[in-house]
Structure 1
Amino acid sequence: MRWTIQFKMVVLFSVIVFIGFSVLLILSNKVAQENMYREVHEDMVQSKRNLDIALNQYFLIHNKRMSRDSLEARSRELAEQIGSAVGGEIIVYRPDASPYGSVGSEVNVAKRSDHPDVEAAIHSRIAYTTVVDKGHVTASLSFPLQMDQQLIGIIQMKKDYTELFKRNLRFQNTIKFFAAVIFVFVFIASIFISRKITQPIRVLTKRSAEVAQGSLNAGIQITTKDEIGELASSFTIMIDRVREQIDVIERERDEVKQVQARSKVFFDNVTHELKTPLTTILGYAQILRDNGFTDQDFFDKGMNYIIKESQRLNTMVADILEVSVSSAVIQAYRFERIDISDIIREACEDMSIKAGKYNIGIHYELEEHQYLQGDRDKLKEVFLNILDNSVKYSDVNSIIEVQSFRLGESIAIVIRDQGEGIGAEALQHVFEPFYQDKGINRAEKGSAGLGLSIVKNIVERHGGTVEMKSIMREGTQVNISLPGEMNA
């Protein structure tokens, strides 16, 4: 016989609920009985006090002294009056446990064996007994009457607690009824819940059998937000992966075509990478040609920039050649401790020559000694690219402002221009490779849309962030944040 998960769940729930309700019923029955006996005990204690008061009042009112003779003469009257006072049946016994007014002692043994409380009173103790018989509950309280330390009689009070017993029984029956109703409800609910839970499992089992037979087209319609739903989702993903593997040859063919197309576009636009250093070299070369050697300091400075930019251009060309061989993104980063302020200053001075053609000034305010771990050439390329874009799209006779300052544990660089601005839609794509905003009137042609993508990649490789804000016809602001060294 195969035990299904649903059957196991129903049996398990039923057993757990049955055991729980059984323990609850046993405990409730025990507590109810304890409460009943506690109420009887408290009532017996109070009844004893009331008996003492009623007994003293009786002899005081009748101006009698309690003795064997008075008890013998007035036992019936005494029992009636104090019985009505305390609300119970009163029996007055002699010291030998025979009732006053009876003749002989034939019933003494039976009385003493049937009433342990009377036996205890014979030995000068106060006691009561509770008897449960066929749904009737009675309690009898017995205590000795003594005069000059001599036992002269025994008073026994009997009270009926059947109503208390029935009330307790009704309470237990009510609990049993509700327990049975709840058990039936839980049993029925467990059937429906287990069927609901196991339904997706049955679907998965059937679907697995179809997959084993080679069918990969039918879907699984399971939307539960639980582990079963996650299993169904994983199963669907697995089927999709299998289906993808079947189509892998066609997909790889398409991917090869796409890679070839991207490679062609990339190598058609590498001039964007080479233009910035060439611009600096050309600018200084033209000035040196026009001024000759009249200004030795400027000549030395120009030659140093030409040599430095030529070396950077050589490194860039080597990296591009490496990309052309490996078809991979350039990863040759050389990290060292650098002062970012020096790099920004150099980039501003380099681009000031190009900016001067359009009467655009580059003003910079740099906080000194801002050290970080980075690639000097790569970071300079970042600032040159951004400044180059600012020059291209700034208004003639405008100002480009550059600031750097420490912000917490980071170094913040802000480059702000006064130009055309960039639309909200274009701002969402400016850092994507080869993206060009068709709505911008370019002052210079030949940009392939790689500059800001390169900027973003370099900044992120340094653990920083870059964002751009712009307002149409007012200008654009680029915010760069780089992790700086901790201050000592």
Structure 2
Amino acid sequence: MKPRIRSIRTKFLVGFFLIFAVSFALLNGTVTSIIRTSNQTIITDDLIGLKKTGSSYVRQAFLMNHFGNDDIYFEQIAQEMIRDLYYATSSEVSAYSTDGKLIHASDSSVFIGTTVDDLEEAIRGHTAYTISYEGGTASVLYAYPVVIDGVKVGILRYAKPFHLLYEQSGRILNAVFYIALAIFAAAFLFSYLLSRHISIPLTKLAAASNEVSKGNLDVRLSMERQDEIGRLAANFNDMIDRLKSQIGKIERDRDHLEKLHLQNKHFFDHVTHELKTPLTSILGYAELIKENGKSDPAFFAKGMNHIVDESRRLQNMVASLLETSKEQGRWEETGRIEAGQLLRDVCDAMSFKAQRYKKTIRVEAAGQLYVEGQPDKLRQLFINLIDNAIKYGHPQSQIEIKTSTDSGMIRFEFANASDPISSERQASLFEPFRTDDERQAREQGSVGLGLHIAQSIVDGMRGSISMTSGDGTTRVTVLLPIAAEGVEWS
């Protein structure tokens, strides 16, 4: 079963929601706790003030009238005391005996029917207060024992409303709540937009990667962004371009290898056939000569001449095969060669052979014609092409060799007078062991590898070679790329 994939956007939103919810709850709880503590402090301070005011008033009353610690006197002055404390504290006040009996109150209804927890604590000699919330208001009942010279003479109890304080606290809490809610809502919205801003390009990148994994290398990401995701998209496009380029190169190399494999198979099939023919002929004549000996002088002379001719042909074939094998080896130590001067030198050297065949060589080679390669291989290329022109050109003719430059390439043209060659035959002449005139090739000792070797050299130099024939002229054209400056032969 395929695992369920959770999107980054969902993870972002859930994470942000949890963070904001917890933060909001903590903030709201903290503010509520602080306000509650502050309210309790305010109430406590206010009640302490009430106690100080009441205690001072009772103490002064006892001192002014020179009474001792008598709870009876406390009851006698209760009414006057309650009235004065009511005006002094702006709070409802009541006086109780030491056993909790109500003596007098500024408003009895305030104290009757209410909780008596604070009163019971005061009877036990403690100061206490209780807060009650009724009808949306808050009031405090505060009771403490009145002690004169260490003797408890009665109890004072206050009832004071604090609804204004709690209303103000409620407004503060509401304001904080809504402000915090608005802030967190805005932050959550921003987080949502940020998650979309991040997750949508990543979703597109994931979809594009999925297409690439399926073999679609035409997919591209279009993101006009200047951040890391924009750079990621650009890098992804560059990666796909390079991958496509490498795959194209691999496919071309594969096709080239397949072509080379077929060529090699074809080549060795020809080699087998071409080597088998002279060897069979030599062996046949040798066996007949062995059987007949010198009893037939004419046949003996004919057979020996045939053995010698075929042996020479076989020797030339083996030498050419060795040269072909060497040309198909690795190219090493390439450099920048001045091809014009090299071509003129080869033409001078080949002019003696041309004279033997009653032919002349005319060369027009400009200077500063630089190509990249190996001098020996380039020299071999020129020799093979000129040698073919000498062997297969008409007697008493001139071999024309010209050079020119065109669109970053150097053109070498080798032309000789000859009978016309069909277009089908022209293409086959670059295959091994193929010649235009089999009889003439046998007389010249050619095995049909010159053009094949020339094409191998040209291919290694990333150039091209072609042949045209017409109007009594056969023309071989070689195109080689011009070498870049700064790389001299070493």
Superposition TM-score, scaled by structure 2 size: 0.46
* Greater Rg by CA: 2
